[in-house]
Structure 1
Amino acid sequence: RYLLVGQRVWNLAFSLDGKRIYTANGVTNDMSVIDTNSLKVLRSVPVGQLPWGVVAAP
């Protein structure tokens, strides 16, 4: 399955409960939040220039 998120996903992380995936989108300078149950992109969040990684923490 293909999901449309920001450009050039450089890294991703799963939430601790496994319900969300967070992607660092390097070219579009944002991160995407994906629901793992429905496989839908819930939102894109601007994060600043060239986000390289993402970490999910409580």
Structure 2
Amino acid sequence: MFDTSSSDALALRATALGFDAVRGKLPVAGDPHRSLDSVTVVRQLSELSTLIARGR
């Protein structure tokens, strides 16, 4: 069993919320309201990369 301080738990929750926010912006194949253009995809991947780098 893991003993996690409340500050660690809050940081983990904030990171998870950040991932959820970025995931919600990602284009989905077949969705006419979200473009699959490469610029949009690269921006979202960049945001995800930033979140991953912060989590390390």
Work out whether the TM-score is over 0.5.
no
The TM-score normalised by the length of structure 2 is: 0.22
Name the one with the larger strand percent. Answer: 1
Question: Which structure has the larger Rg over C-alpha atoms?
Answer: 2
